[in-house]
Homo-oligomer: A and B are copies of this chain.
Amino acid sequence: MSTAVSPLAPTDVPEMPAIAGVRLATAAAGIRYKNRTDVLLALLDKGTAVAGVFTKSKCPSAPVEWCRAKLKGGNARALVVNSGNANAFTGKTGKASTALTAQIASKAVGCSTNEVFLASTGVIGEPLDATKFDGVLAQLTDAAAPDHWMDAAKAIMTTDTFPKVATATVKLGKAKVTINGMAKGAGMIMPDMATMLSFIFTDAPVSASVLQVLLKAGVEDTFNALTIDGDTSTSDTLLAFATGAAAAQGAPKISRASDPRLKAFAEAFQEILANLSEQVARDGEGARKLVEVVVEGATTKPSARRIAMSIANSPLVKTAIAGEDANWGRVVMAVGKAGEPANRDKLSISFNGIRVAKSGARDPSYDEKEVSEAMKAPKIQIKVALGLGKGRDRVLTCDLTKEYVAINGDYRS
């Protein structure tokens, strides 16, 4: 497996500020990996609201089922994340394992197990020995501090080649509030789900129900408009935590999603989700190109989404991009197989702004050399104009390289 950092990794990594009410600590519990951290504990002050969205898999992991059940309470005091083992498809053992982990955490933190949230990522189908958390979580509770954001983002990585963080500071009322986020990818990623693992923290005094509305709306055009390989994990989890600590600085308490004071915060929140999901695409397994698929002129937005996803998930389109080949014939193929309204003779296709096909045939002005040059860029935009209506959508993906096959043909062994 390659350990080289993706060439698409952001060059500009932000300093992650502290968030009042959040303390972090990481440890190497030896769950699977050696010589690296694999457990993250996030401690949350009393009164922290929580919201979440999860995989739509019919075979979700034990931690996903745990979180879904605990979300009803709306309060969180601790988040425990481990990498190396997904605790998925582990039967009754898996359920027992989540219960034991939560019990160990609740004891260490001094809270109810109903306020403990869990996420696991890594190999599926192997029992997770929760006794490995015994002792570790108590130590982490003592060690937890307001910084450590990059360490936290590193501890949750699996085949990721770089840690993914994002931060924003925005006004809520007259007070400044902060939003920090982290995510991990990097394969088995496809929407109709929440996302891989991603955690958002803020000191804004936002209620759990408002946070849930923001999350649900926010993932639609970010994490749910992202595909690496069309495969959907059993463990995808996106949790958001709001400590409310900024209330002490005069931030107003927000309990309705329609509250006009929420506007700037909601935009920044959405921006964090967009930032993190793009980073996940940039770290798709084996990725050498970030690919943005834009479909316009579809009959509706959902139709545009389905066509964009058909293109973004096509192995033939993705390998062509890897080969720096503006193979618009394969794009036509992917439009055709989507099953959505499309009129072959109205289609136009561009790569990075250069139109290669229009009105159902090769663009007369098409210059193979110019396009070939453009295909060398690290970011490729495929734009398809259907000419039928006003439906427009955009999804992100990456190319399909031999490295993807190498990573995934040799992951478990």
Contacts and interface: CB of A to CB of B under 8 A. Distances in A.
Contact of A344 (B59, B316, B333, B404): B59
Interface stretch (A68-76, A160-168, A268-276, A320-328): A320-328
Interface in A391-413: 400-402, 404-406, 408-413
A329 interface: yes
A387 interface: no
Contact of A329 (B125, B338, B409): B125
Interface stretch (A133-141, A212-220, A358-366): A358-366
A183 to B, nearest CB: 19
Given A88-B332, A336-B60, A362-B127, A405 B401 contact: yes
Interface string A33-50: 000000000000000000
A59 B86 CA distance: 41
Copies of this chain present: 2
A342 B60 CA distance: 11
Q: What size tier do the contact residues of chain A reach?
A: 35 or more
Nearest to A399: B409
A359 to B, nearest CB: 6
Given A58-B338, A59-B342, A408-B320, A332 B362 contact: no
A339 B58 contact: yes
Contacts of A190: 337
A319 to B, nearest CB: 4
Interface string A154-185: 00000000000000000000000000000000
Interface of A: 55-60, 86, 88-94, 123-127, 187-188, 190, 192, 229-234, 313-316, 319-320, 322-323, 325, 327-330, 332-342, 344-345, 347, 357, 359-362, 400-402, 404-406, 408-413
